[in-house]
Amino acid sequence: MHLKSVFAAIVLSASALAIPATASADVFDAPTPERQARESGLQTAIFAGGCFWGIEAIFSHTRGVSSAVAGYHGDTAANATYDRVSGGFTRHAEAVQVTYDPSVVRYDQLLEILFSVGADPTLVNRQGPDRGTHYRTALVPLNSEQRAVARAYIRQMGESGVWDDPIAVRIESHQRFYPAESYHQDFMHRNPDNSYIVRWDAPKVRALREMFPSLYRARFRTG
């Protein structure tokens, strides 16, 4: 399918689901396919893309992901509380730390999922109804390979012509990740009827199932 046709189909689907219209899984090739030979064992990645409930939810439904933890990245431990972060008093981003098996799901595939169903890469310091620097969209590479893939992927998104607005995704240097309070963990799994979840995050999981059937896992992986 031609790129523009793919995008048109996604726009219709995204409009129906009330989620950002982003790229499909077919748009981008893996930037460095040779890395599969170098990856072994479980890997860890950190992603920020708006409210961490939804990002945690989509990766908790992704095959190959063994853990998705909601938390804060980008400032100190003293400030890593929900009240301070959500109040705009820190430099943290709401983020999710993902542990995954690269033999099942690669890092670039996690990026495809993030920007197809999780976050609009053109928005600055906001996603959905949420506003503030702590809702910025950022990739936090934990090694040189992830950094190379992240840079290549962002460049490809910018060159694709899919988005009218510039790509606003940041690559941030790794600092310590602080898990969020226990009531934020597995939030969608424990609170499926929460109004925010129903309006903003459940559609993202449905889109994951529809757009990435081979990577979708029906069971929510807790922890």
**Phi and psi angles of residue 92, each rounded to the nearest 5 degrees, phi first:** -70, 160
Tokens of residue 153, six digits:
């992927």
Contacts made by residues 104-108, CB under 8 angstroms, sequence distance 24+:
104/63, 104/64, 105/62, 105/63, 105/64, 105/65, 105/215, 106/30, 106/35, 106/36, 106/39, 107/35, 107/43, 107/45, 107/145, 107/146, 107/149, 108/28, 108/30, 108/31, 108/32, 108/149, 108/153
d(CA 147, CA 94) in angstroms, rounded, equals 20
Active-site position among 27, 45, 51, 197: 51
Q: Is 135 helix (H, G, I), strand (E, B) or coil?
A: helix
Q: CA–CA distance from 187 to each of 23, 59, 184 (Å)?
A: 26, 13, 5
Per the annotation, the verdict on 178 as an active-site residue is no
Active site residues: 51
